[in-house]
């Protein structure tokens, strides 16, 4: 039977029992509106830990658009039922006052990591992510925490934060889960109109084709090709497509780049913003 708790006191009490018995604690932080991508994280967490904790909290400090926060899908009862089915042990569903009894004024310095791509177009977003994830890590104190690779830059930021704050948590990135037509699963997909949903698979289709065209184009030319291919659909508009160093996320100039290369993209489908990524060079 899944245990649903809303307060830090109650959660710590629950986890104290497991901790005192030497059990390993795995953690999956989410903002709810769960889909198969989230469930894959829960399943991986279950396989690697004695106890699986999932949090559902729509974190206001990481939204730089008030409408996005207001419209973000919320379906807690459905989420809890899904998590019970997936075998999670504890669901933590705090309200805003519980996580932020007073405003969090911490400012994190991630160097260039949060200035490019998402950071450039969503100022303050990653500072909010670092605020909430660090708070949740303090509360849950997990051995391992699981995040989807769809939010590639977010994962890099969380790894940097863990190092910066000296947390003993192992951060595990899990593969992107896709719909049958290739669209990366996202809670925001629920907000797409039928017409935009029909166009959205072009994003991953284009990324996949672009991977095979590396030999034909320079980095700059490939970026232009991806943007014009996606923008040729009137339902889609590329905000950015970046070929970046897989670790530092700084833009790369050529395919001879010594490190791995990741292609990260953000696309507007109507007023819904979709992100995706794929490796261009391991």
Cα 205 → chain centroid: 21
pLDDT at 64 over 90: no
28 and 141, same domain (yes or no)? yes
7 and 131, same domain (yes or no)? yes
On whether residue 182 sits in a domain, the answer given is no
Average pLDDT, integer, range 218-226: 98
Give the end of a domain, one of 120, 142, 174.
Answer: 174
152 and 195, same domain (yes or no)? no
Rounded (10°) CA dihedral 179, 125, 58, 60: -150
| Confidence at residue 109, expressed as pLDDT on a 0 to 100 scale | 96
| Confidence at residue 127, expressed as pLDDT on a 0 to 100 scale | 97
* Count of domains forming the chain: 2
Q: What is the domain range of residue 252?
A: 187-281
Give the end of a domain, one of 150, 174, 198.
Answer: 174
| Confidence at residue 198, expressed as pLDDT on a 0 to 100 scale | 98
**CA 218 – CA 206 distance, rounded (Å):** 16
21 and 155, same domain (yes or no)? yes
pLDDT at 51 over 90: yes
94 and 201, same domain (yes or no)? no
pLDDT bracket for residue 107 (50, 70, 90): very high
Mean pLDDT for all residues in the chain: 97
Give the end of a domain, one of 174, 201, 224.
Answer: 174
113 and 199, same domain (yes or no)? no
On whether residue 179 sits in a domain, the answer given is no
| Confidence at residue 65, expressed as pLDDT on a 0 to 100 scale | 85
On whether residue 196 sits in a domain, the answer given is yes
On whether residue 256 sits in a domain, the answer given is yes
Q: Which residues contact 161 (CB under 8 A, 6 or more apart)?
A: 108, 110, 130, 133, 134, 167
On whether residue 180 sits in a domain, the answer given is no
DSSP designation for 259: S
Residue indicated by tokens 């805003």? 96
**CATH code for the domain in which residue 144 is found:** 3.40.50.620
pLDDT at 57 over 90: yes
107 in Cβ contact with 132 (< 8 Å): no
| Confidence at residue 71, expressed as pLDDT on a 0 to 100 scale | 87
235 in Cβ contact with 199 (< 8 Å): yes
Residue indicated by tokens 């419209």? 71
22 and 68, same domain (yes or no)? yes
On whether residue 131 sits in a domain, the answer given is yes
193 and 137, same domain (yes or no)? no
198 and 241, same domain (yes or no)? yes
Q: Give residue-wise pLDDT tens across range 153-176.
A: 999 999 999 999 999 999 999 999
Average pLDDT, integer, range 219-235: 98
Q: What is the pTM of this model?
A: 0.96
On whether residue 202 sits in a domain, the answer given is yes
Helix (H) / strand (E) containing 237: strand 236-245
Average pLDDT, integer, range 225-252: 98
**CATH code for the domain in which residue 255 is found:** 3.30.1300.10
Q: Give residue-wise pLDDT tens across range 179-193.
A: 999 999 999 999 999
224 and 158, same domain (yes or no)? no
**CA 184 – CA 206 distance, rounded (Å):** 13
On whether residue 19 sits in a domain, the answer given is yes
Q: Is the dihedral of CA 116, 119, 123, 128 positive or negative?
A: negative
Q: Give residue-wise pLDDT tens across range 113-159.
A: 999 999 999 999 999 999 999 999 999 999 999 999 999 999 999 99
Q: Is the dihedral of CA 28, 32, 34, 37 positive or negative?
A: negative
Alpha helix positions (H), 8-52:
8-20, 36-48
| Confidence at residue 66, expressed as pLDDT on a 0 to 100 scale | 87
Could you confirm whether 38 is annotated as catalytic?
yes
230 and 153, same domain (yes or no)? no
Average pLDDT, integer, range 215-228: 97
165 and 209, same domain (yes or no)? no
Q: Which of 35, 38, 143, 196 is catalytic?
A: 38
Per residue, the 3-state secondary structure of 51-108, as one string, reads EEEEEECCCHHHCCCHHHHHHCCCCHHHHHHHHHHHCCCEEECCCHHHHCCCCCCCCC
């Amino acid at each position: 039977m899944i245990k649903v708790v809303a307060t830090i006191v109650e959660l710590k009490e629950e986890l104290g029992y497991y901790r005192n018995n030497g059990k390993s604690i795995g953690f999956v932080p989410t903002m709810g509106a769960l889909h198969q991508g989230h469930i894959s994280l829960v399943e991986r967490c279950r396989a690697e830990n004695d106890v699986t904790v999932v949090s559902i909290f729509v974190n206001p400090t990481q939204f730089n658009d008030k409408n996005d926060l207001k419209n973000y899908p919320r379906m807690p009862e459905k989420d809890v039922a899904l998590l019970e089915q997936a075998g999670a042990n504890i669901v933590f569903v705090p309200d805003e006052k519980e996580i932020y009894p007073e405003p969090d004024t911490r400012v994190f310095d991630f160097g260039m990591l949060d200035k490019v791509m998402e950071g450039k177009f969503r100022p303050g977003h990653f500072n909010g992510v670092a605020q909430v994830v660090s708070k949740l890590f303090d509360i849950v104190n997990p051995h391992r925490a699981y995040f989807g690779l769809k939010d590639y830059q977010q994962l890099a930021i969380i790894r940097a934060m863990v190092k910066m704050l000296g947390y003993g948590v192992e951060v595990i990135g899990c593969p992107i889960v896709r719909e049958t037509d290739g669209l990366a699963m996202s809670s925001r997909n629920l907000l797409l109109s039928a017409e935009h949903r029909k166009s959205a698979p072009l994003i991953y289709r284009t990324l996949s084709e672009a991977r095979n065209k590396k030999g034909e184009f320079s980095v700059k030319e490939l970026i232009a090709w991806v943007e014009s291919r996606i923008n040729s659909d009137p339902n889609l508009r590329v905000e950015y497509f970046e070929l970046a160093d897989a670790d530092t996320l700084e833009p790369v100039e050529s395919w001879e780049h010594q490190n791995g290369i990741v292609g990260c993209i953000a696309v507007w489908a109507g007023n819904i913003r979709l992100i995706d990524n794929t490796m261009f060079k391991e």
